[in-house]
Amino acid sequence: MKRRQFLARAGVAAAAPIAAAGPLAAPALAQGKIEWKMVTSWPKNAPGVGINAQRLADRITALSEGRLSVKLYSAGELVPPFGGFDAVTSGAAELCHATPYYWSGKAKALHYFTGVPFGLTAPEMMGWIYFGGAQALWDEVYAPFGVKGFYVGSSGVQSGGWFRNEVKSAADLKGLKFRIAGLGGDVMKKLGVIVTLTPPGEIFAAMQSGAVDAAEWVGPWNDLAFGLHRIAKFYYQPGFFEPGPALELLVDKKKFDALPPILQKVIEQASQATAAETLADFTRHNIEALEPLVREHGVQMKLWPADVVKASGKAWKEVQAEVAASDALTGKVNASFNAYLTKARRWARWSDYAMLRAREDGLA
Amino acid sequence: MKRRQFLARAGVAAAAPIAAAGPLAAPALAQGKIEWKMVTSWPKNAPGVGINAQRLADRITALSEGRLSVKLYSAGELVPPFGGFDAVTSGAAELCHATPYYWSGKAKALHYFTGVPFGLTAPEMMGWIYFGGAQALWDEVYAPFGVKGFYVGSSGVQSGGWFRNEVKSAADLKGLKFRIAGLGGDVMKKLGVIVTLTPPGEIFAAMQSGAVDAAEWVGPWNDLAFGLHRIAKFYYQPGFFEPGPALELLVDKKKFDALPPILQKVIEQASQATAAETLADFTRHNIEALEPLVREHGVQMKLWPADVVKASGKAWKEVQAEVAASDALTGKVNASFNAYLTKARRWARWSDYAMLRAREDGLA
């Protein structure tokens, strides 16, 4: 799908959810029903993120039988793409679908609840959040701001980024202007990269105008929809900065606590159902998008040169030490994350890694 | 946890859910509320499977605000461990938490909805079921029996099994009595193994008595709870017969269709929430269980010898051709599965496999 088509289709589809929610608004309020606003960082109906946010809103509305009706606002409709946290803390919106590290300026520890370079895969991350003590830590980080985060899924392993020219060694990265989010940006800075964090909806334009030389967004499915293959042909794998980044539903804690228990349960369970659906959605669509990228659009799939991975790993250890030292709570979160990751790596060598290798050996 | 402790704790915990559901029963029926029975193939409170089945039952009851109250019966309580399918089709129970290939005697195609050797990982499987057309195929397979299956999660990559003696090459497998489930058993038969499918709750006893020489169950967490490390010390990885096996909620289709739409929605969404929770639960607990197995119990972790993987891959291709030829619908399911797997393997090489490798290289 070309970018213009994507935007056009998005525009057409955009009206539907709002129009559908519209007629409900007045009678809903009249019957003592609750209407909440969900802002997002995503363009309207962006594959994966935008559509899954819409499905989460619809799921809460449906499971609550309209007692809690959620209306979605895409990036820029109510607040700017990165304005979700302020919207929820100021009371302008009750909910925000985004990812925790977008608010890392408020609390460094939030990076870990999205994920960090060379960190956890999506199933490992779900294990840490749901059963490894991370939800309690996450609640502790958010408590001073009066908000709470729910895990709502992941893209799975992300891609490393689109480059106009081949990256033959770490030296080729020096001086490049690269759109990259999160701590991966800090890692890249140590490799001499000039890092910018362009909002999702503006990445294509930044690439087209030359404001950036290279950009990472998500993976084949989402990047194809944004049209990044039209500008750069070298597609580097994997996105070792983001092995299993988490999406979040950010909630105004005070308003959440004031809800009847059944509506709290609905938000919690709808988030969990969205977690499964979102991972499935990205996985399936990345699987399908790879072939057209390569066959129809002439994209060259590339693994990072070994020295880029090595240098990035070394740089990440330095960045991680700095991040962990920023405050006591971030140090505590880092320690929990690291302890779990060490064990997760050990198990992955026998399970996921050994399995993917055995699958290739067995079916060869 | 030793097996006796496990069984003792399971026994203590066993009474709770039923006692809790008890007092609700009479008034619930009096108010026109619905009570459903959920049977399972699992011992009471078996980690992962038994506990996640209980959580699913509780989730449906809670989200429906008691309008649909679900009572769980462990293996043997109402019907035998592998009696779930007959219980649902005969009307003795409305729900069953198990895995589709336990009913492959009824329809060969059901193997694919659990997963097949050298097949899909858990996230890939979720992608195929939710977004890759597999739910419609699954519905088609179950239609003649008047049942419907919902995907409710996975253990992730399973382990290959417990062996009393080291397996140095494929020749060492010949004549061994091996407890193994699913099509992996048919693959092993081609390698000269004597295959038995002992019910989950009887695996320890079968190993202890020498009725079997070797056994696979799930992975470190579940196998530790069953005490298999007390009998055999060689633990082979990965369980290439089961890369991401699916658990299912089997439902009486006629009774499901007769439910009010909101209760149908509750079952569907509770299943999806359970899918995320179950994968997270297994992942986290396998990660934690590996260390005690090795450090405290002297278990020797082993990768399968290369010739076992090669021979199994070759045997699987023969088994798959036989299975696919059993009837037209199985052939159709096999074709869908294969087409998706081919693309999934291509993407996994750039994403999951490349990422797990980069993580080790970067953090080395």
Question: Given this model, what pLDDT does residue B14 score?
Answer: 34
Question: What does the pLDDT average to over A213-237?
Answer: 95
When mean pLDDT is compared across A173-182, B2-11, B133-142, B158-167, the lowest value belongs to B2-11
User: What pLDDT shows up at residue B31?
Assistant: 56
Nearest chain A Cα distance for residue B36, angstroms: 20
Backbone dihedral angles phi then psi of residue B300, each to the nearest 5 degrees: -100, 110
ipTM > 0.95 for the complex: no
Location of structure tokens 């090595």? A310
Residue A146 falls inside a structural domain: yes
Q: Measured between CA atoms, how close is B192 to chain A, in angstroms? A: 18
Q: According to the model, what pLDDT value does residue A44 have? A: 86
Identify whether A59 is part of a domain.
Answer: yes
Mutant choice from B131, B237, B350 vs A, greatest count of A C-beta within 10 A: B350
Provide mean pLDDT across the span B164-191: 96
Q: Which of B118, B126, B156 shows the shortest C-beta gap to A280?
A: B126
Q: Note whether A280 contacts B156, CB cutoff 8 Å.
A: no
Nearest CA in chain B to A117: B359
State the pLDDT at residue B320: 98
Rounded CA separation A82/A88 (Å): 12
Per-residue pLDDT tens for A268-306? 999 999 999 999 999 999 999 999 999 999 999 999 999
Q: What beta strand segments (E) does chain A contain?
A: 34-40, 68-73, 95-98, 147-154, 161-163, 177-179, 194-196, 214-215, 234-237, 246-252, 300-303
Is residue B133, in this structure, part of any structural domain at all?
A: yes
- Chain A nearest CA to B331, separation (Å): 19
Instruction: Inform me whether the pLDDT recorded for B13 exceeds 80.
Output: no
Could you tell me the pTM of the whole model? 0.92
User: Are A127 and B291 inside 8 Å of each other by CB?
Assistant: no
Q: For residue B9, what pLDDT is reported?
A: 37
Facing B287 at nearest CB: one of A290, A344, A358: A344
Output the pLDDT for position A171. 97
* DSSP H stretches of helix in B1-133: 3-30, 49-63, 84-90, 111-114, 122-131
- Do A353 and B350 make contact, defined as CB atoms within 8 angstroms? no
- Chain B partners within 8 Å of A345 (Cβ): 359-360, 363
The C-alpha of A276 sits at a distance from chain B's nearest C-alpha, in angstroms, of 5
**pLDDT digits over B57-66, tens only?**
999 999 999 9
The DSSP output letter for A45 is T
> CATH number for the domain including B70?
3.40.190.170
Q: Does B197 have pLDDT greater than 60? A: yes
Please answer yes or no on whether B355 and A243 come within 8 Å at the CB atom: yes
Contacts of residue A132 in chain B, CB cutoff 8 Å? 284
In tens, the pLDDT along B228-266 reads 999 999 999 999 999 999 999 999 999 999 999 999 999
Q: Is A280 in contact with B127 (Cβ distance < 8 A)?
A: yes
- Check B123 against A128: CB less than 8 A apart: no
Contact residues, chain B, for A183 at CB < 8 Å: none
pLDDT band for position B46 (cuts 50, 70, 90): confident
Chain B environment of A241 (Cβ under 8 Å)? none
Establish if A138 belongs to a structural domain: yes
Eight-class DSSP state of B72 = E
Compare all CA atoms of chain A with the CA of B349 and give the residue at the minimum distance. A356
Plot region of B192 (φ>0 → left; ψ -120 to 50 → alpha; else → beta): left
Beta carbons of A178 and A188 less than 8 angstroms apart: yes
Q: Do B128 and A361 touch (CB under 8 A)?
A: no
Q: Are the C-beta atoms of A79 and A92 separated by less than 8 Å?
A: yes
Q: Residue B266 belongs to what domain range?
A: 3-154+243-285
Query: Which member of B123, B240, B243 has the closest CB to residue A122?
Result: B123
- Per-residue tokens: A274: 């969205």
As a whole number, mean pLDDT of residues A158-179 equals 97
Report which of residues B23 and B342 the model is more confident about.
B342
- Give pLDDT, residue A296: 95
Q: Assign residue A61 a region: left if phi > 0, alpha if psi is -120 to 50, beta otherwise?
A: alpha
Query: Which region among A65-69, B23-27, B283-287 has the lowest average model confidence (pLDDT)?
Result: B23-27
Q: In a mutagenesis test of the B interface, which of A124, A130, A347 is the best target, namely the one with the most B β-carbons within 10 Å?
A: A347
The angle formed by the CA atoms of residues A221, A20 and A53, to the nearest 5 degrees, is 35
CA closest to B133 among chain A residues: A284
User: Quick one: pLDDT band at residue A32, thresholds 50, 70, 90?
Assistant: low
- In this complex, which of A269, A281, A351 lies closest to B63 when CB atoms are compared? A269
Let me know if residue B346 belongs to a domain.
Answer: no
- The string of DSSP letters for B134-160 reads HHHHHHHHHGGGTEEEEEEEE--SPP-
Which residues, 6+ apart, have CB-to-CB distance to B348 below 8 Å?
A: A356, A359, B121, B124
Residue A361 and residue B313: Cβ atoms within 8 Å? yes
What integer pLDDT is reported at residue B16 of this predicted model?
33
In a domain? residue A132: yes
Closest CB to A303 among B281, B354, B363: B354
**Cβ pair B337, B112 in contact under 8 A:** yes
Please indicate, yes or no, if residue B324 is contained in any of the structural domains. Answer: no
Least confident of A30-44, B257-271, B319-333: A30-44
Backbone phi, psi, residue B298, to 5°: 65, 25
Mean pLDDT to the nearest integer, A188-195: 98
CA-derived radius of gyration, chain A: 20
Smallest CA-to-CA distance from A276 within B62, B266, B153, B98 is with: B153
More confident residue, A23 or A46: A46
Inter-chain touch A313–B240, beta carbons under 8 Å: no
Residue A11 has pLDDT above 90, yes or no: no
Nearest Cα to A147, choosing from A116, A193, A114, A110? A110
Contacts of B240 in chain A (CB under 8 A): 355, 358-359, 362
Query: Given A301, A309, A358, which is nearest B350 (Cβ)?
Result: A301
In order, the DSSP letters of B273-313 are HHHHHHHHHHHHHHHHHHHHHHHTT--EEEEPPHHHHHHHH
Question: In a mutagenesis test of the A interface, which of B216, B338, B352, B360 is the best target, namely the one with the most A β-carbons within 10 Å?
Answer: B352
Measured between beta carbons, the chain A residues lying within 8 angstroms of B351 are 156-157, 159, 219, 237-238, 286
Residue of B nearest to A262 (CA): B63
Mean pLDDT, rounded, of chain A: 92
Q: What is the pLDDT of residue B200?
A: 87
Q: CA-nearest residue of chain A to B282?
A: A127
Q: What is the pLDDT of residue B32?
A: 63
User: In Å, how far is A341's CA from the nearest CA of chain B?
Assistant: 9
CA distance A262 to chain B (A): 7
Q: Do B353 and A357 touch (CB under 8 A)?
A: yes
Which residue in A has a C-alpha nearest to residue B117's C-alpha? A359
Q: How far is B127 from chain A (nearest CA, A)?
A: 4
Asked if pLDDT for residue B27 goes beyond 90, the answer is no
pLDDT in tens, A94-122: 999 999 999 999 999 999 999 999 999 99
Cβ separation A131–B281 shorter than 8 A: yes
Write down the pLDDT at residue B101.
95
Yes or no, beta carbons of A238 and B280 under 8 Å apart: no
Number of domains in chain B: 1
Residue recorded with tokens 């196998």: B223
Count how many pairs of residues, chain A against chain B, have C-beta atoms within 8 Å: 255
pLDDT (average), residues B140-167: 98
Q: Is residue A67 domain-resident?
A: yes
Task: Give B275's contacts in chain A (Cβ within 8 Å).
Answer: 273, 276
DSSP state of A159: P
Q: Which of A243, A287, A344 sits opposite B344 (nearest CB)?
A: A287
pLDDT at B1: 36
CA-to-CA distance for A70 and A33, rounded, in angstroms? 11
Reply yes or no: is the peptide bond before residue B238 cis, omega within 30 of 0. yes
Are the Cβ atoms of A126 and B276 closer than 8 angstroms?
A: yes
From B237, B239, B347, residue closest to A287, measured CB to CB: B347
Return the residue of B nearest to A338 by Cα: B363
pLDDT of residue B353 exceeding 90, the answer is: yes
* pLDDT at residue A31 tops 70: no
Mean pLDDT, rounded, for B75-96: 97
